[in-house]
């Protein structure tokens, strides 16, 4: 086990897969010579050269489409979005073409494509740069989407995504790039898509999240224990589609209370799907309604102290749990 | 190879923009009084001494504002990105500085210069960077998203190329309303490779829209030189306009006279013929792409940066012209510099002392119907917060 950053873990995954499989190449803005806007690909161009690390002009629709076409031909392109917010200029390629071609061809074609990059708020870059489109991507049958929150998950999921034969969107976080955690050394360490992870075991309440929200939930869980003796179980979805329903339901059946936390906007957010799942398949186990925390329902505000309020915090989680447990704090 | 030939030939064949500019180009040789190229263009001849000084003030104010913003940024007073315009000042002043009542502007995230030129105050601009309630967008937009529609300034846009179709639409609306105006739609050299830019150009050429596409070519899109992002960079990015039957011209962005002269030609074309133009202005940014771009001396040489700063600086060049013309003295120049610096310092103080927006502001300005109750026939829920963090 090595302790490395989330950034390094992704880089290692990319390097290992580029080494392992000749059909893997990376393309995006500033990924090669500049070493990546967020340094995720630092050193890779030097190591692997122009063919495997390709700097593209600011033409997302062009190069995401290119990625789909190349994937149709059996290559395994990994396309970087400098910010996931920029995927919208290529929305037709990314969601319409990538999701439909296999289906429309009656299964004759498949698209082993990865689109990866940061999708998070909290860095004061304003409404146009702070989108978390995992819920929208998940709405397209044919697409897969994952959102790792630790270095190990980032590495294992990235490798699984690259080896997968369908289009996989990997949602990262600029806030997490510098976070360190343990990662297994095994070059074939893989985390299957569609496998959730219990990041903290508990008995009183299930907190379900994905991406950075999981870390926020873990922080809150610690305080809930210290302050109120409430033992929260934190379920990290890791993969949003495919979704590990079994792990969620098992946890809910044990704790009988659920709080869903995510950075998505509430309307049709990932949390809405989880909430539906729980009421539909574990209704009789619930001691109360499913609660949900999301970003405040407005475009991302720039003003730094206000953006902090807009996104769900550990304070918000604690407050919500206090409400669920009728604690007057 | 054949394509290359055509691409080269076509612009040469129909270059009315270049031609009309040529008329004013030999100004230097024709007149001994005005040595500066393009000083003889009618639009420049019309400048009074006070106008010329005002143009200098305008450029210096941009620079001082941004230097103050940079300092504040480095002290951790603001978040997000800060893209500096320093080095490109003559572009905003030479183009936006000519705005008439029915002329409009839209630009990308490198937007502070254009904002100050349309008449937005340093105070509201600085406060926006600080995320304060007194900012031009109440602290909601930040550096990349300045707006002042009352001054015909339609933003400040963060998605590369995204503003260009909007600029087309603004110009479309002007034509629709029968106004004799135009819209300047600014973009960088990297933005020309966005699909929507090309769709907008085709529509403008097809439908006679009075839009002026301005490519501010500062040679780099982040760490990518135009040679690495565009085909035929030497022939000029503006030459792509040929594909859309749009007249184009290239401008040296270090000479305010030239920017003004060639911009005027485009404005008249828009006003009188309702035809678009593509202008490519050669310019340079002295700082990195944003403050986060600490590596900007890796993808370009120190010598290149110094060459622009020391020999081709638009403020320096303009000061030299004005001194040669006897319009400006050293003392005056110093005074202008000092005043702008003080104004920027005051703006910093204003921003520091201003309050942040109240938290309820997060949910305001999302929908017109919500902000103006009783004016729409809307029913049902429109926000979906189970509970607000402050309730
Ligand atoms: C669609 C989209 N892709 C990528 C980015 C990230 N990005 C912001 S500015 C920029 C470079 C733009 O360069 P250029 O158009 O030359 O303008 P300049 O910054 O030089 O003024 C990039 C890649 C973005 N904001 N939007
Ligand atoms: Mg540029």
pLDDT tens sequence across B317-357: 999 999 999 999 999 999 999 999 999 999 999 999 999 99
pLDDT at A187: 87
Size of interface A-B (CB pairs under 8 A): 153
> Is residue A190 situated within a structural domain?
no
**The two structure tokens encoding residue B238:** 């503006």
A36-50 average pLDDT score: 98
pLDDT at B294: 79
Predicted TM-score (pTM) of this structure: 0.94
pLDDT at B33: 53
> Is residue A191 situated within a structural domain?
no
> Is residue A189 situated within a structural domain?
no
Q: Do the Cβ atoms of B359 and A58 come within 8 Å?
A: no
Residue with tokens 């574990």: A282
Q: Do residues B362 and A298 touch, judged by C-beta distance below 8 A?
A: yes
pLDDT digits (tens, 9 = 90+) for B157-168: 999 999 999 999
Number of domains chain A is built from: 2
Band of the pLDDT at B5, cuts 50, 70, 90?
Answer: very low
pLDDT at B27: 41
- Contacting B residues, span 266-305, partner chain A, CB-CB under 8 Å: 295, 299
> Is residue A22 situated within a structural domain?
yes
- Closest ligand 1 atom, residue B285 Cα: 20
**The two structure tokens encoding residue B161:** 């190329």
pLDDT at A313: 98
Distances (CA, A) of B63 to A322, B84, B314, B330: 52, 9, 11, 18
Percent of chain B's residues with pLDDT above 70: 91
The ligand 1 site (C-beta within 6 Å) comprises A 29, 58, 60, 82, 86, 89; B 110, 158-160, 187-191, 218, 220-222, 289
Handedness of CA A150, A156, A162, A168 (dihedral sign): negative
pLDDT at B38: 97
pLDDT at A265: 96
**Closest Cα in chain B, distance from residue A275 (Å):** 13
Distance of CA B283 from the midpoint of ligand 2 (Å): 9
Asked if residue B32 has pLDDT above 80, the reply is no
- Closest ligand 1 atom, residue B158 Cα: 25
Question: From atom 11 of ligand 1, which residue's Cα is the shortest distance away?
Answer: B221
E-assigned strands of B139-191?
A: 182-188
Same domain, A53 and A122: yes
- What CA–CA distance (Å, rounded) separates B25 from B47? 17
pLDDT digits (tens, 9 = 90+) for A207-250: 999 999 999 999 999 999 999 999 999 999 999 999 999 999 99
Asked if residue B9 has pLDDT above 70, the reply is no
Residue boundaries of the structural domains of chain B: 48-353
Same domain, A201 and A142: no
Instruction: Write the CATH number for A116.
Output: 3.40.50.970
Q: Do residues B253 and B91 touch, judged by C-beta distance below 8 A?
A: yes
Q: Do the Cβ atoms of A57 and B221 come within 8 Å?
A: yes
Residues of A in contact with B159 (CB under 8 A): 85-86, 88-89, 128
Ligand nearest to the CA of B85: 1
Handedness of CA A16, A19, A23, A24 (dihedral sign): positive
Distances (CA, A) of B364 to A82, B250, B375, B383: 29, 43, 16, 11
- What CA–CA distance (Å, rounded) separates B243 from B202? 8
> Is residue A251 situated within a structural domain?
yes
Prediction ipTM score: 0.96
A314-324 vs A212-228: helix crossing angle, rounded to 10: 50
Distances (CA, A) of A173 to A117, A118, A214: 8, 4, 12
pLDDT digits (tens, 9 = 90+) for B112-123: 999 999 999 999
Strand partners, A53: A26
Band of the pLDDT at B13, cuts 50, 70, 90?
Answer: very low
B126-146 average pLDDT score: 98
> Is residue A149 situated within a structural domain?
yes
Asked if residue B54 has pLDDT above 80, the reply is yes
Same domain, A258 and A171: no
pLDDT at B362: 98
- Convert A182-219 to b/e letters by CB count within 10 Å (16 or more is b): ebeeeeebbbebbbbbebbebebbbbbbbbbbbbbbbb
Asked if residue B26 has pLDDT above 50, the reply is no
Distance of CA B189 from the midpoint of ligand 2 (Å): 5
Task: Find which of B107, B142, B359 to mutate to test the A interface (most A CBs within 10 Å of its CB).
Answer: B142
pLDDT at B297: 84
Question: From atom 7 of ligand 1, which residue's Cα is the shortest distance away?
Answer: B160
Same domain, A84 and A154: yes
Same domain, A166 and A245: no
Calculate the average pLDDT of chain A: 97
Same domain, A161 and A202: no
**Closest Cα in chain A, distance from residue B194 (Å):** 5
Task: Find which of A90, A302, A317, A321 to mutate to test the B interface (most B CBs within 10 Å of its CB).
Answer: A302
Same domain, A25 and A90: yes
**The two structure tokens encoding residue B246:** 């749009």
Same domain, A151 and A214: no
Distance of CA B161 from the midpoint of ligand 1 (Å): 8
Residues of B in contact with A128 (CB under 8 A): 144-145, 157-159, 162
B45-64 average pLDDT score: 98
Band of the pLDDT at B292, cuts 50, 70, 90?
Answer: confident
Instruction: Write the CATH number for A319.
Output: 3.40.50.920
B232-255 average pLDDT score: 96
Same domain, A134 and A281: no
Distance of CA A174 from the midpoint of ligand 1 (Å): 18
Domain that holds residue A285: 197-324
> Is residue A281 situated within a structural domain?
yes
Better-scored residue on pLDDT, B23 or B186: B186
> Is residue A329 situated within a structural domain?
no
Same domain, A47 and A99: yes
pLDDT digits (tens, 9 = 90+) for A166-189: 999 999 999 999 999 999 999 899
Among residues A183, A212, A227, which one ends one of the domains? A183
Residues of A in contact with B363 (CB under 8 A): 296-298
Q: Do the Cβ atoms of B221 and A58 come within 8 Å?
A: yes
Same domain, A179 and A205: no
Band of the pLDDT at B28, cuts 50, 70, 90?
Answer: very low
Return all residues near B46 (Cβ < 8 A) that are at least 6 apart. Answer: none
Nearest CA in chain A to B157: A128
Calculate the average pLDDT of chain B: 92
Q: Do the Cβ atoms of A58 and B161 come within 8 Å?
A: yes
B102-109 average pLDDT score: 98
Eight-class DSSP state of B118:
H
- What CA–CA distance (Å, rounded) separates A103 from A96? 11
Closest CA to B126 of B351, B308, B316, B335: B351
User: Catalytic residue numbers of A?
Assistant: 60, 129
Q: Do the Cβ atoms of A34 and B131 come within 8 Å?
A: no
CA B84 to chain centre: 11
Class of domain B48-353: alpha beta
Same domain, A31 and A140: yes
């Amino acid at each position: 086990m090595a302790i490395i950053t989330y950034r390094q873990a992704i880089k290692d995954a990319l390097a290992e897969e580029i080494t392992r499989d000749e059909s893997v190449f990376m393309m995006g803005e500033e990924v090669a010579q500049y070493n990546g806007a967020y340094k995720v690909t630092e050193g890779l161009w030097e190591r692997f050269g122009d063919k495997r690390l390709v700097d593209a002009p600011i033409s997302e629709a062009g190069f995401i489409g290119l990625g789909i076409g190349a994937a149709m031909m059996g290559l395994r392109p990994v396309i970087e979005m400098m910010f996931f917010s920029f995927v919208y200029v290529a929305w037709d390629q990314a969601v319409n073409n990538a999701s439909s071609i296999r289906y429309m061809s009656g299964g004759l074609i498949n698209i082993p494509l990865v689109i990866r990059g940061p999708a998070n708020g909290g860095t004061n870059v304003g409404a146009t740069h702070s989108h978390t489109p995992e819920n929208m991507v998940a709405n397209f049958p044919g697409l897969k989407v994952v959102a790792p929150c630790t270095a190990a998950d980032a590495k294992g999921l990235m490798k699984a995504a690259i080896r997968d034969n369908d289009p996989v969107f990997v949602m990262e976080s600029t806030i997490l790039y510098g976070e360190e955690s343990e990662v297994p050394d095994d070059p074939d360490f893989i985390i299957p898509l569609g496998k959730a992870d219990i990041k903290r075991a508990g008995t009183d309440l299930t907190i379900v999240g994905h991406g950075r929200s999981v870390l926020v939930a873990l922080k809150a869980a610690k305080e809930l224990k210290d302050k109120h003796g409430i033992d929260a179980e934190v379920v990290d979805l890791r993969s949003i589609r495919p979704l590990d329903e079994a792990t969620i339901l098992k946890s809910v059946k044990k704790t009988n209370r659920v709080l869903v936390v995510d950075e998505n906007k509430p309307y049709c957010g990932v949390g809405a799907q989880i909430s539906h799942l729980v009421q539909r398949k574990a209704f009789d186990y619930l001691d109360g309604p499913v609660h949900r925390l999301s970003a405040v329902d407005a475009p991302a505000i720039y003003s730094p102290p206000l953006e902090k309020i807009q996104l769900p915090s550990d304070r918000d989680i604690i407050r919500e749990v206090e409400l669920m447990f009728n604690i007057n704090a | 190879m054949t394509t290359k030939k055509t691409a080269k030939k076509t612009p040469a064949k129909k270059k009315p923009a270049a031609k009309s500019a040529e008329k004013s180009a030999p100004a230097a040789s024709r007149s001994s009084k005005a040595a500066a190229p393009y000083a003889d263009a009618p639009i420049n001849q019309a400048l009074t001494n006070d106008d010329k000084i005002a143009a200098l003030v305008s450029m210096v104010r941009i620079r001082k504002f941004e230097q103050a913003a940079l300092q504040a940024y480095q002290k951790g007073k603001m978040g997000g990105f800060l893209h500096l315009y320093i080095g490109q000042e003559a572009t905003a002043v030479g183009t936006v500085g000519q705005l008439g009542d029915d002329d409009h502007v839209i630009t990308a995230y490198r937007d502070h210069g254009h904002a100050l030129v349309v008449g937005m105050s340093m105070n509201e601009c600085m406060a926006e960077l600080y995320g304060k309630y007194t900012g031009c967008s109440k602290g909601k937009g930040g550096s990349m998203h300045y707006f002042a529609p009352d001054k015909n300034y339609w933003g400040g846009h963060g998605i590369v190329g995204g503003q260009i179709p909007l600029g087309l639409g603004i110009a479309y609306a002007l034509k629709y309303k029968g106004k004799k105006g135009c819209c300047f739609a600014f973009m960088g050299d990297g933005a020309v490779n966005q699909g929507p830019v090309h769709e907008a150009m085709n529509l403008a050429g097809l439908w006679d829209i009075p839009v002026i596409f301005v490519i501010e070519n500062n040679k780099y899109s982040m760490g990518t030189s135009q040679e690495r992002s565009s085909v035929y960079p030497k022939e000029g990015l503006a030459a792509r306009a040929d594909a859309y039957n749009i007249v184009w011209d290239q401008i040296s962005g270090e000479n305010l006279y030239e920017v003004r002269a060639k911009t005027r030609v485009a404005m008249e074309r828009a006003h009188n013929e309702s035809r678009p133009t593509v202008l490519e202005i050669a310019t340079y940014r002295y700082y990195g792409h944003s403050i986060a771009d600490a590596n900007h001396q890796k993808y370009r040489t120190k010598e290149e940066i110094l060459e622009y700063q020391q020999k081709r600086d638009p403020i320096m060049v303009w000061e030299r012209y004005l001194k040669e013309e006897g319009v400006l003295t050293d003392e005056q120049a110093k005074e202008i510099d000092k005043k702008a610096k003080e104004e920027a310092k005051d703006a910093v103080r204003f921003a520091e002392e201003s309050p942040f927006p109240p938290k309820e502001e997060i949910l305001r300005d999302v929908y017109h119907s919500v902000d103006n109750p009783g004016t729409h026939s809307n029913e049902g829920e429109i926000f979906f917060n189970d509970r607000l963090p402050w309730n």
